[in-house]
Structure 1
Amino acid sequence: MPPTLDLANTYSHADMILSSRNSPRISLRKAGSYNGEKGPLSSTSSRFSFNHLVASPPPSPSLPALVPRHGKPVPAHNSRKYLRGLLWLSGVLVILYFGVTTLRLHHPIEAVGWAANSGNQYEMVGDTELPDFPTPVVVTDKRGRAKWTVSIPPDHEFPLDPKQYAEICSQNKEVATHVADLHSHKHREHAAHFGYYHVDPNFMDVAEAEAHGLLPGPKAKTSMKGQDGSVIGDSTDDGLIVADVCEKSMTFVLETHDAGLGKTLMMLWTAYGLAKKEGREFFIDDSRWVYGKFTKLFQPPPIPGCRPPPRHEMLPCPRHARHLAVSAANAGHIFGGAFNEAFEDARKMEVYRQKPIFNLARQGYEALFNLSGEDQQYVDKRLAELKSKTKLPTTENGHGIVIGVHVRHGDRHPFEFQYKDSYVPLDRYSDKARELLHNAYKGQNKEAEEHSLTIVASDDSDVYSAEEFAQASRAQEQIRLASKQYSKTPKPVGSNGMRNFVAESVGWEGGFFARMFWSLGKPSSVPVTAIEAPDTKLPPTEEALRLRELVGRAYLMDLAVLGQASDKVICTVSAMGCRLLAVMMGWEKAIEKDGFVNIDGDFEWRHVSW
């Protein structure tokens, strides 16, 4: 039996082991295998080598100790080699970084570039002069760091064409991605979409670019009085004091190819609430509005204490630009999916998720929905008249209620599948009205039921004469959009044989149709139902503006009476006027107290889907 090896005595008597025997079990060649050396070690090297500090000796063939020797953990293998390699690698990377930075300082990238439209693709084109059309551009500072901004020639027409607004927003995404790649020195995958309040660190606002001499700022500081005063609230002079330019602003451009007024109103109200939430001053531009001047339909909005910026600083995007221009052309960018994600209350369910967005629109309604003098006087008078009819002779029995009915026909069809190609039957409205009246009093207050009213507003003149609404009243009678049978009635003749002046009736058969709207004011040789694409770039005639104004005033007064007088409103949520009425009633009355009654399927109030 071979002798038992004692490892402690092996290292303390190495010389004796080498001289007495040459057993392979205790050969120093074995010790070299774990410290990385190939040849046998001498006694001297065995005594004074530092290899035992790097790696521990092989484990003893005896049983492992329950407690580590000397109370110290076993060090990791080759840890010092790893540390030295890491230090060398860090040093090399630092040297390479400073070398690349020095080369970039001596060889900056192109100072200016812009996005050129090439079909559906956009490419960066370098040049030394700014383009003469609105487009995003790439600029660099003195150190060669790339930034991007939007260049709009100061003398360019304002507002821009809707297609230009849409193209700028599309090009901005491409340019922002390109500049981000320049900073990372390689192309990388970018997020499909960012949060609503994402700030691009590479974007430079127009005023900042002008301050650095990258855009022609001095040429842009032209007087804004030559803009025909199209921006409402633009007071460049207040007596002898000239107001400063607003720090942040939002200008709502009243321009859309959609003939309807409902979407524009909802977007206008929501934009106002959004501007106030973001600390922006709010302005309105009506230079190309299809309904004429804003102040012909509404009273002027609240005027800020500062003036709007130069027109070329009003950008459709990015969202965090200092001065935003909002129109139907960039509505998807301002009020799209990111807007809903940012403002919907994710902790709530169903319609209650929409409350923050509802409140934004409500704030805009309270500030902006003030009808022009004559129309507002009529609405106030009509509201007082309806309220007096619901009063009871004896006050202890309370009062009657007002049930409003809004019927939308024309080119707006219901969401409900069975009626999607036609309209919700009128008996659905009348049956729901009777149901609401019965539920309000449960047959216990006949006097109050008798003093309750049903008022109707519709874009279809034939609805008012329908049997279902024989006992109902019109919401307003100031402006009637008569059907064709009434529009052909002769004008009354005065006592002196002269025909008295009566405003021309607008034939409105079957409801509001966009093509019919665009045909208003055309020569009689052109049928009013002619199918042709409207050329909205051509300025409308005075007669067309007058007729459009009548249509707008009738629509607004209908909404004003229904929204302010009704205790309950019956409508189809597929119609934008229906959703506007809910905002006018307020969240508590419309949603929490069930004053808003939709009969178009099981849908709830929603904001505009852009």
Structure 2
Amino acid sequence: MSTFAQQQSAPLLHSSTSSRFAGRPQSSRHATVESCEPLSRTSRALAAFGVMLAGVLLVLIIVSYTNQPLLMRTFGLDRANLHPSTSSHGGLSYQNYTSFPLLGTQYLHECAKQMSGFMSHGDYWDAPRHHGAPMDVDHANDPHNRICNSTITYLLDGKVGLAADLGLMAQAAALAQERNRTFFVDDTHWTRGKWTEYFEDVTSLQRGPEPGCLPPPPQEFVACPRTARHWVINSLTAKYHLGHSFEEHYEDPYGHQLNRKKPVFDMAQKSFASTIRPNEEMRTLIKIAKVEFLRKFPRESEQLEADKHTTLHRSYYSVHIRRGDRIPHGWMHHRKPIATQVYIDAIFQRLHKSDSLIQSSQSPVVYLASDSPPMLEQFAEAYNGTTFSLPGSKHSELNILASPQDYHQEMFDKLPLQARRKATKGALIDLALITGLWGGEQEPRLDSAVVSVSSNFGRLAAIGLGWEGAFGNVDEMGDIDNTRKKWIDVDLQGTELPVWQAFELF
């Protein structure tokens, strides 16, 4: 048998006379072994270092895929402290658009592209990823680190009414505070003018984690997903963010019916108390209206008026009658406007409850608001008591703000800007007195609100009254306290559960 050294070392097709065909000498193996010299100490150290470095790199690669935040914190690269200047590689691009911020309908289109065709089953704040990176658009260089690191912006565009926008905005502001993001309001496309014409700048009230930082370039706004660095939300895209997944995450999972809504109620109440507040001009107008309204209250005697308990005699009912482009939700109305008498009957049904601040023998003073001028006259004629509304004000700066016609969104948008501004100021004064929001001491006190849940004024009235004030002692099964409630819905009248929702989705 031939040895391994005698076997050919070249392809069989080569000639036997070729130099490549020559067999290896039997001593070649031994010569090779004898020629190897032991590795030097330096070589062994370099080899060990190479193995160690390869191990470290392997660990970093594994961690980068399984726990990227831990890796970034370890090396001081936490995203909370960075303003990346390179592409996010997140798979999103709004480069087909030329004007920013986009319109609300355009953001809706982008959300439809991202969100349709699949359903997320993860946590509300799980970040969808594209090739391992969180889905986002590219971000521009910020060499001076002046742009806020992470933001939530509510985009106003006038596609819905004032109260509808405020109800949605209250949730967005609360989410920004919870997620430690800076909150902004963008009014570029708002058909009512500028936000600060009516409200205080939100950045002065809810300063966020980086006070004084600048809003991001609008081309970096992302409507979906909400985990993008600069999330923008508006009345049209809210259905993708404040729907079922929001309810599953933020409502009380152990509560029944109305009790499930308590955390969301608290979020809204906190936003209206701390972030969404009328500016100085509007506070002045609201105060003028309240002072004039106080003169409508009966004064039995000077002594009684000076008594510390006279707040009982300055309590009022608010009534809001929505007409225009709204249809009642309740089946019993047969899609027809709710009759004036239904509102009046609700007042006196509530009046006879034992804990009412107003003596049952009296007809309570009513602050009346409606988007329909004829309804104000109709109610005042039918009601056996004192009413007050903006058209009846003796102050020209108030009665000029009264709604001149039924509110239809499309018709409103066609009005001249100055007319829209007046109507918005009037609506905000009405909202303050109908809901009791932004109230203070030494003012007329809202006892009860008679409203329709199909109107967003009606939804916000519960926020102004407070949880127990609006719903009484809600029992463990989430049933409203019909004896002590001060929020009276004349639309659904408790026929649908839960009886109240914080906002409307469009």
TM-score, structure 1 normalization: 0.56
Q: Distance in 2 between matches of 1:332 and 1:172?
A: 13
Q: Distance in 1 between matches of 2:115 and 2:351?
A: 54
In structure 2, runs of 5+ residues without a counterpart are 1-85, 437-444, 473-483
Residue in 2 aligned with 1:455? Answer: 367
Three-state SS of the structure 1 residue aligned to 2:91 is strand
Q: Does 1:294 align with 2:216?
A: no
Q: What are the equivalent positions in structure 2 for 1:134-149 lying under 5 Å apart?
A: 148-149=90-91
Residue in 2 aligned with 1:519? Answer: 414
Paired positions, count: 380
Q: Distance in 2 between matches of 1:360 and 1:502?
A: 32
Distance 1:193 1:365, change over 3 A: same
Q: CA RMSD in A?
A: 3.6
Three-state SS of the structure 1 residue aligned to 2:449 is strand
TM-aligned CA deviation for residue 266 of structure 1:
0.8
Q: Does 1:330 align with 2:225?
A: no
TM-aligned CA deviation for residue 257 of structure 1:
2.8
Q: Which deviates further from its counterpart, 393-402 or 261-270?
A: 393-402
Residue in 2 aligned with 1:136? Answer: none
Q: What are the equivalent positions in structure 2 for 1:437-448 lying under 5 Å apart?
A: 437-440=351-354
Q: Distance in 2 between matches of 1:449 and 1:246?
A: 58
Q: Does 1:432 align with 2:346?
A: yes
Q: Distance in 1 between matches of 2:121 and 2:398?
A: 56
Which of these residues, 104, 111, 130, is aligned with residue 169 of structure 1?
Answer: 111
Q: Does 1:200 align with 2:95?
A: no
Which of these residues, 411, 421, 429, is aligned with residue 549 of structure 1?
Answer: 421
- The answer to whether the 8 Å contact 1:250/1:283 transfers is yes
Which of these residues, 463, 476, 491, is aligned with residue 600 of structure 1?
Answer: 491
In structure 1, runs of 5+ residues without a counterpart are 1-138, 142-146, 178-189, 210-214, 224-241, 481-499, 521-543
TM-aligned CA deviation for residue 413 of structure 1:
1.3
Which of these residues, 419, 423, 438, is aligned with residue 337 of structure 2?
Answer: 423
Q: Distance in 2 between matches of 1:370 and 1:396?
A: 29
TM-aligned CA deviation for residue 372 of structure 1:
3.4
Letter in 2 for 1:559: L
TM-aligned CA deviation for residue 552 of structure 1:
1.0
- The answer to whether the 8 Å contact 1:406/1:456 transfers is yes
Bigger radius of gyration among the two = 1
Residue in 2 aligned with 1:580? Answer: 460
Q: Distance in 2 between matches of 1:222 and 1:275?
A: 22
Choose between structure 1 and 2 for higher RCO, CA contacts under 8 A separated by at least 6 residues. 2
Calculate percent identity across the aligned residue pairs. 23
Three-state SS of the structure 2 residue aligned to 1:245 is coil
Three-state SS of the structure 2 residue aligned to 1:515 is helix
Distance 1:460 1:440, change over 3 A: farther
Letter in 2 for 1:362: Q
Q: Does 1:373 align with 2:280?
A: yes
- The answer to whether the 8 Å contact 1:413/1:420 transfers is no
Three-state SS of the structure 1 residue aligned to 2:237 is helix
Letter in 2 for 1:249: T
- The answer to whether the 8 Å contact 1:407/1:457 transfers is yes
Which of these residues, 256, 280, 283, is aligned with residue 181 of structure 2?
Answer: 280
Three-state SS of the structure 2 residue aligned to 1:566 is strand
Q: Distance in 2 between matches of 1:390 and 1:270?
A: 40
Residue in 2 aligned with 1:81? Answer: none
Letter in 2 for 1:421: R
Which of these residues, 413, 416, 422, is aligned with residue 327 of structure 2?
Answer: 413
Which of these residues, 123, 139, 150, is aligned with residue 248 of structure 1?
Answer: 150
Letter in 1 for 2:325: D
Q: Over residues 95-135 of structure 1, what are the superposed CA-to-partner deviations in whole Å (9 max), with x where a residue is unaligned?
A: xxxxxxxxxxxxxxxxxxxxxxxxxxxxxxxxxxxxxxxxx
TM-aligned CA deviation for residue 276 of structure 1:
0.7
- The answer to whether the 8 Å contact 2:403/2:426 transfers is no
Residue in 2 aligned with 1:265? Answer: 166
Q: Distance in 1 between matches of 2:238 and 2:430?
A: 26
- The answer to whether the 8 Å contact 1:411/1:514 transfers is yes
TM-score, structure 2 normalization: 0.66
Three-state SS of the structure 1 residue aligned to 2:246 is helix
- The answer to whether the 8 Å contact 1:456/1:472 transfers is no
Distance 1:173 1:140, change over 3 A: farther
Residue in 2 aligned with 1:52? Answer: none
Q: Distance in 2 between matches of 1:456 and 1:435?
A: 18
TM-aligned CA deviation for residue 333 of structure 1:
1.5
Q: Distance in 2 between matches of 1:472 and 1:445?
A: 13
